Each structure stands twice: as C-alpha cells, then as structure tokens.
Amino acid sequence: MKNMLVTGGCGFIGTNFVRYLLKESDFKGRVINADKLTYAGNPENLTDIEENFPERYIFEKVDICDRENIARIFDEHEIDTICHFAAESHVDRSIVDPDAFIQTNIVGTFGLLELAKANQDRLELFHHISTDEVFGSLGKDGFFTEQTSYKPNSPYSASKAASDHLVRAYHKTYGLQVTISNCSNNYGPYQFPEKLLPLMILNGLEGKSLPVYGDGRNVRDWLFVRDHCTAIWEIMKRGKRGETYNIGGNHEMENIGLVEMICDILDGIQKPEAKESRRELIAFVKDRPGHDRRYAIDSTKLNRELGWVPKESLETGIRKTIQWYIDNREWVNRVRSGEYQSWIKEQYG
C-alpha cells in the first residue's frame, strides 16, 4: 500500500484518519485525498498536514460520481489502495433530501468499484467504511454482529446498506480485494457542529437550549474517532479479504445520560452563568421519523482476529472532545458562520 486514495478525507472521520495515518501510524506511503467539499467537508482541517507532509499528502477536489476525474486521479497518482469514507451521512438530512444520499452513497460507490475492478492488477485493497445503522434497531438485549440481517430504517442507512452489498458483490463476483467495516456512533475532534455531541457541547458552553429527541432513551454505542481510525488501519493491514468487521466503542448509553454527562463535565470546567446546572438547559423535542431505539456493536471478531480494543473510556473520550472544542473556537466559528466555505471557493473555485 504505497499510494492510498482516501475518499471524503476532509469530513469528520476522514480527517481524523488522514491525520492518524500520516502522523501516528506505520503507513509509509502517500495519501491522495479526494473530496467534493460539501457543507461538512473542510480542507482547513488538514492545512497543517499539507504543510508538514508535502511529499506524502495530495488533495484533489472532486466528486466521486465524476468518473472521468476519479479515473484521472487513479492513473496520475498510481493508486493501489482505496479507503472509501465519502458519503452523505446525516440521518435528518436524508429524510428531507434523500436524492443526494442515493447519488453519493450508492452511485458514487458503484463508480469507484467499477474503477477498482478495471485496475485489479495493481489494486491491493478496497476498504469500505459503513455504519451500524444498516442493521436497524435492537431491543433491550443483544448486539449487532457481522451475521446480523440488514434492516435499514432511514434513507441514509438504506443507501449505506446498498453500498455495502455492492462492495461484497464485487468481491464475490469479480474477486475484488475488499474489506468492510461497520462502526458505531463516532465522536471527537473536527465533528461538524450539527451532530449530537458537538451541538450539546457548544450549546452548553453558550448557555443555549440542549434539544433531545423524544424521551431521550434511545441508546447508542459511542466510539472515540481515534479508536475507530486505529481499527480501520488494522483491518486494512491484516484483515481477511472479503470479510466484514464490526467496530464498537463498548460504551452504550442512553442519549439523555450522555447529554447529562456532558453537562456535568462542562459544569466542572466552567460554571454556568444563569443556572445552577446545565442540565436545566435540556429540552425534549419531537422525535424524528424512523428513530431507531437502540444500537449496540459486538466487536468480538475484530478483537479475536486482530487484537483490537478501544483505548478510550467514554468519560475520557468525552473530556478530550470537550477540551478540543474549547481550544478550537476559531475553527468552530468559521464552520458555523460558513466562512470556511468562502475560503474553499477562493482556494478551489
């Protein structure tokens, strides 16, 4: 793996993966980051990487649905590995505008697979990043395993399920060297402020309302993004080709419990001005359609075969995340105001 195409490398998880790959891992090759730069894609996340690794990091502004340009990148940079993050990923947005999710997540993945198939002679691996949302909703007990049937409940999860099936089919039908990973809910640095954790952190710091869907009893398994990145790299290096691996944080919590934890940690860092506790800012709002009740990942296969376990506890990961948002308010302000989009237009048109 000498020339890795990372799609969606300016998004939340992609950014963290590129940073991990070049700054911390044993990867010695080049990263070619292909990103369309939609609202959640921010190349400023990687400005220091571009400066510090000029020979090993290359950015290409391109839509993965643009087959001609993706093929050019593939040939020009002699791509031998693909790590595919690029996706529309926000459930609420998929309910309002599913078309973008079908185009990017299904059609875009199909185009990449066709390109990979045409270049199998030099392709080491096509690794596909997916989500536990493809499995649907769990009851009070049990966990998602690699054998769990797919039952997606939103346009987003349905589009990811379709892309998973395509990747698996290209391995079975054409012998393409692939691995797939399905992860639980990620959190950490560089996450777009619309997501649950950064929204609660930033609103809490500013004394604003903390909106929680429904009764707040929906359960998620939370995975610190750096732990996710280490798992992806282990799978890419040593995972069995054609196999799927679940990546979980082993930290289940109801949404309301998570928000209360954030409130308590923030209160310990900075006392709220107008209230006794930030818990008083919590406001329950109308639940979203198709809101899955519980996700929980069983990562036994990943642990047994590759020896991976998450390093962060939920509390240590949350504390690190809160501190990052406190220390990077300029980034937050540029993202919230849309100022970064003006910079993107100036730099890339």
DSSP assignment string, 299-334: -HHHHHHH-------HHHHHHHHHHHHHHTHHHHHH
Please identify which of the residues 44, 60, 63, 133 carries the catalytic annotation.
Answer: 133
- DSSP per-residue letters across 143-165: -B-TTPPP---SHHHHHHHHHHH
DSSP reduced 3-state for 92: helix
The CA angle 121-60-30, to the nearest 5 degrees, is: 55
Contact 80, 116 (CB under 8 A): no
Per annotation, catalytic residue among 20, 57, 63, 156 = 156
Q: How far is CA 124 from CA 29, 129, 306, in A?
A: 13, 16, 19
Given CA atoms 34, 37, 38, 44 in this order, what sign does their dihedral have? Answer: positive
Structure tokens at 254: 């109801």
CB 331 within 8 A of CB 44: yes
Separation CA 74–CA 84 (nearest Å):
14
* Residues in the chain, overall count: 349
- Give the SS3 label for residue 98: helix
Catalytic residue among 35, 44, 88, 132: 132
Gap between the Cα atoms of 198 and 336, Å rounded? 12
Known active-site residue 57: no
* Angle between helix 225-238 and helix 12-23 axes, rounded to 10 deg: 60
- The torsion angles phi and psi of 108, rounded to 5 degrees, stand at -65, -45
The question of whether 156 is a catalytic residue gets the answer yes
What DSSP letter does each residue of 27-54 carry, written as one string?
--SEEEEEE---TT--GGGGHHHHHH-T
The catalytic residue positions are 132-133, 156
